[in-house]
Every structure is written in structure tokens, then in C-alpha cells.
Amino acid sequence: MQAKTIFERLKNGEIISPTDNEAYKMREASFVTKKLLVKMNNASNPVEIRKFLSQITETEIDESVTVFTPLHINYGKHTKIGKNVFINFDSVFLDLGGITIEDNVLIAPKVSLLTEGHPTSIEDRHSLIPKPIYIKKNAWIGANSTILSGVTIGENAVVAAGAVVSEDVPDNTIVGGIPAKFIKNIKP
């Protein structure tokens, strides 16, 4: 049986120690992604932007997807983007833990999707804890919001501008604040 790569282990939620024999591969992969990001973020043609994003994610990005660059991604291959998704300027995706964005999602400017965290204990602080982010259909993530690792944003949900989301958001609700709290239900 072949041993799993560090990227498979991350996708499976394994905590990675800084002394892991494959830890260096995360930085190497980030620099490969960075080369493509520089090209993508300097492109102005939407078809070309999608082509670069397809290379970064190693998936086919549908022609209905719009990305206003710059977009910053540290790995890319753990990001899945559905159809009719809009990603506005200056968003940051740390995706080693996995990011899934379903169809018809709106992502406003300066949104951070952070699937990676660290232990609070001093001796383990440099370990990496990956947990996926899942954004369901027709969600709207407001400007300058931060979605933390392990969070699911429900279908039709709205995250108010500036929110920091550390817990799951139910379908058809609006949340806001730091930390994000329930504001109201939305009629589907």
C-alpha cells in the first residue's frame, strides 16, 4: 500500500507537524501556485483568468464563473468552484484543508477563506490543523468577511460584511459580527 502524500493527509484533516518529513512540500507547492497567480492576476481577459484558475485548481472552471483579480491562493488544488460563481477583488483562499464553493455563490471583495489553523499550545504552535470550508448554493459572503476552518455556510445564507465566521451558518439565515452571530432568517 502506497503511503499518502502530505496533500492527501491535509485533505483528510491530519495535523501536520513542522518536523514532518514532507512539510517542505507545502511551501514548494505554494511557490508553483504563486507563479501561476502572478500570470492570472496580471491578466485582464476573463477567459484567460479562468484558464489560469483551472491550472491552479486542476479542475475545469466553468465559463459562467467570474473572478476579479487579484485573487490569492496558497495551494489551489484543494479548491473546487461551481458554476455561476462571482469572486470579487482581493480575496484570499488558504485551501490546504479544502474549499468547496457550490453554484451561484457571491464572494465580495477582501473575503478570506482560511482552512488552516494552528494549535494554541506554545510547543505545538507551528503545527498545521487543516479543516475544510464548504459554501453551499446561492450563499453571499459579504465584503471583508473571514470564514475560518471547518465552517459550512448554508444554502442561501448571507454573511454580513466584516463578519468573522467560526461556526456553521444554517441555510436561509443572515449572520454578522465578530464572532458572527445569527441576525435573522431569510424566506426561501
pLDDT for residue 2: 58
Q: Looking at residue 159, which CATH number applies to its domain?
A: 2.160.10.10
pLDDT for residue 1: 54
pLDDT (tens digit per residue) in 28-50: 999 999 999 999 999 999 999 99
pLDDT for residue 187: 87
Q: Is residue 126 part of a domain?
A: yes
Q: Is residue 1 part of a domain?
A: no
Query: Is 118 a residue of the active site?
Result: yes
pLDDT for residue 96: 96
pLDDT (tens digit per residue) in 46-73: 999 999 999 999 999 999 999 999 999 9
Q: Which of 72, 78, 118, 126 is catalytic?
A: 118
Give me the domain span that covers residue 156. Answer: 6-185
pLDDT above 70 (res 3)? no
pLDDT (tens digit per residue) in 96-144: 999 999 999 999 999 999 999 999 999 999 999 999 999 999 999 999 9
The predicted model scores a pTM of 0.95
Q: Is residue 31 part of a domain?
A: yes
The number of domains in the chain is 1
C-alpha cell at 146: 473571514
pLDDT for residue 188: 74
Q: Is residue 64 part of a domain?
A: yes
Q: Is residue 128 part of a domain?
A: yes
Q: Is residue 156 part of a domain?
A: yes
